[in-house]
Chains A and B, each alone.
Chain A
């Protein structure tokens, strides 16, 4: 009994580590699906204060219900202040995600907003890195 417990603990830890790894990979898997051409797209509103303000309004109307009023995330919906969104993902990556969604994970396509509003939201989200 005594020497079985450490083995069980090791198995349990291994399973948990694998599950965590799988979850992490799956959660950010969309980032690996972005075509290079989309990844390199330039945000025409990059850094513009007016666009950030407009993006904040669009975010409050459409995104805050799931991602939180301050983009801090809610339950299964990820924080947009994470290093994945703020550092790993380019603005082009985020544009691709907003246009295509990640429907298996519950993220709808937001192509109906149109490119200008999508870029404005991205300007706002990227302004949260501080």
Chain B
């Protein structure tokens, strides 16, 4: 079973390499969503990881494999498979998510809203793809065997606001999450800003030229819940982030992120890779 879990990302990347590539021009964000949608017909495969060492708990690696498909220019759908490995404990599959993003305004404005709806069914999740409510260090204290008993079936909504100005992207997410078991609404936020190191493309092929890099800052955290709104007993993180797109279309991202209070894991190291397959169903029908 464990071999099968490891095989999933390997299979996904093999699939991507077999199909072909385009340059994804992804933002270097791990938690924050920008208003930019997946191009219609394209499938993006992403693998994101986070490593952390909470105080008085074991070091962990949280992973999520994402398949993002552009259904329409205004509609992107995405499925996630999440897992985690905790030192001196175990490696487990923690659940799945399915999200949809809708862009209600079909032109580019000063601020562009996107509506996000997600259903997730997870337990013992450590991928930290968002921080809401009073998520924090105490969540890491339990062993996987105990944490797995706490099933989280949740609906998560986000209002994504994004702007592109003179090469800069500024994105803000307002998050509201509801556990279907009856817990109160929990809130969170994320924002990020980034820019390619060079805006104009060069006339010749290059591997490490500045236009292939994007750098920025990302910050996110919880805002309590319906009965205790605010930043008290919430975790908050911030850090620089960078990505690089290789000539073969693979994008590699990295971000060291720092806990801003005692309720946060002191340091998180995030790294990821993404690969985009152009016009997936067109390729399948042509037998490529």
Contacts and interface: CB of A to CB of B under 8 A. Distances in A.
A90 interface: no
A113 to B, nearest CB: 7
Given A112-B169, A115-B167, A101 B201 contact: no
Contacts, number: 83
A62 B22 CA distance: 7
Interface in B41-72: 41-42, 70, 72
Contacts of B37: 108
The interface residues of chain B, by DSSP majority, are classed as loop
A65 interface: yes
B279 A99 contact: no
Interface string A22-65: 00000000000000000000000000001101110110011001
Contacts of B196: 114
Interface string B67-80: 00010111000000
B72 A103 contact: yes
A89 interface: no
Interface residues of A, number: 31
B108 A58 contact: no
Interface residues of B, number: 34
Given A109-B108, A111-B164, A116 B22 contact: no
Contact of B39 (A50, A58, A108, A120): A108
B106 A120 contact: no
A100 interface: yes
A28 B121 CA distance: 45
A111 B166 CA distance: 10
B203 A54 contact: yes
B112 to A, nearest CB: 8
The interface residues of chain A, by DSSP majority, are classed as helix
Interface in B257-287: 278-279, 282
B200 interface: yes
Interface in B221-260: none
A51 B200 CA distance: 9
Given A112-B36, A114-B164, A57 B200 contact: no
A65 B40 contact: no
B200 A120 contact: yes
A54 B205 CA distance: 9
Contact of A112 (B25, B72, B107, B282): B25
B54 to A, nearest CB: 35
B203 A50 contact: yes
Contacts of B39: 65, 108
Interface in B87-107: 103, 106-107
Contacts of B106: 101, 103-104
A113 B73 CA distance: 16
Interface of B: 22-23, 25, 27, 34, 36-37, 39-42, 70, 72-74, 103, 106-108, 164, 166-167, 169, 196, 199-205, 278-279, 282
7 contacts: A61-B23, A65-B39, A100-B107, A103-B106, A106-B40, A108-B70, A115-B166
The 7 A-B pairs of least Cβ separation, nearest first, read A103-B73, A53-B203, A116-B200, A61-B23, A65-B278, A54-B201, A114-B167
